[in-house]
Amino acid sequence: MSVLIFIDHSEGHVKKASLEALSYGAAVARQLGATAEGILLGTVTEDLAALGKYGITKVHQLAQESLNQLDAQVYAKVLAEAAAATGATVVIFSNNLSGKAVAPRVAARLKAGLVSGAVALPDTSNGFVVKKNVFSGKAFAHISLTSPVKVVALNPNSYPAKAGEGQAEVAALNIQADAPRVKVVSATKSSGQVPLTEAEIVVSGGRGLKGPENWGMVEELAKVLGAATACSRPVADAHWRPHNEHVGQTGIAIAPNLYIAIGISGAIQHLAGVNRSKVIAVINKDPEAPFFKAADYGIVGDAFEVVPKLIQAAKKLKGLA
């Protein structure tokens, strides 16, 4: 009996969300008295054996260059076959873009129960019950999985990546992958910033900044804090900022440790994409802004006066001023 964890990667590097999934899967394996094993499709530049420090004993790798680009159907077929071959009773994914595309397909192939968006370790005291977010993060549901094989997709930033000691055995996966039917013709990549889905701190701006010419202070605060930058939908729609920075119900859903909202009123659609943040800090000159009801910390004040002071305080704290 084993717990199989999907290792997602990009441009030769294992994603941070996958390290969280490995730690989560290893903890699930300890609960069940099973072994924890990872599976990676494609090639990476990192030492896969070193992933043993996250609690797994083995990494199965199908090292085909064609698998470096995600094709959900091809991935699902290989992963389902690997789960059957390794005797996996639980398959773990990160609930990121790749996991959302692949996990349901794997569950269907394995006739397995699926919980997407898990936020805590399962309760195995009486069955296998998984806690997840529902209603755009406004509530939690506890889902009981009774199928012989179970598939769980873990929300990013909901379980810490816990590194310890250990080395994993790396073994070639003896499975034939179909030729991908998806061909990537070109890709436009954002560079020079922390990916939003993996950022631990996010600094976001809204219409209260009045125009794109004032975005420099958002970027400066983000740079000092080592954060990613984001924006509300009206800002992206007005082309002040690129759409890949739009967070909210119709944009990217994020769950950083700290979300700083500057000049954002906090409409329900925006809150739905950021309310999984561990701490929310709001800066707005309108004391009646809805965002203050969801915030852990709030500053009622003009962003053009508050943010520069925050930047100076952050620089002083980090020894940069």
Domain spans of the chain, in order of start: 2-172, 196-317
Cα 61 off chain centre by: 22
Q: Do domains 2-172 and 196-317 have the same CATH topology?
A: yes
pLDDT at residue 183 in the model:
80
CATH topology of domain 2-172: Rossmann fold (3.40.50)
pLDDT at residue 56 in the model:
97
Query: What pTM, to 2 d.p., does this model score?
Result: 0.86
Cα 111 off chain centre by: 25
Residue segments in the chain with a per-residue pLDDT below the cut of 70: 190-193, 321
Which segments of 33-127 does DSSP mark as H helices, in order?
72-86, 97-110
What is the rounded distance in angstroms from the CA atom of residue 229 to the CA atom of residue 235? 13
Per-residue pLDDT tens over the stretch 221-262: 999 999 999 999 999 999 999 999 999 988 998 989 999 999
Residues 196-317, CATH architecture: 3-Layer(aba) Sandwich (3.40)
- Name every residue whose Cβ is closer than 8 Å to that of residue 154 and which is 6 or more positions away in sequence: 20, 21, 24, 92, 93, 94, 95, 118, 119
pLDDT at residue 162 in the model:
92
pLDDT at residue 197 in the model:
83
pLDDT at residue 191 in the model:
61
pLDDT at residue 190 in the model:
66
- Name every residue whose Cβ is closer than 8 Å to that of residue 305 and which is 6 or more positions away in sequence: none
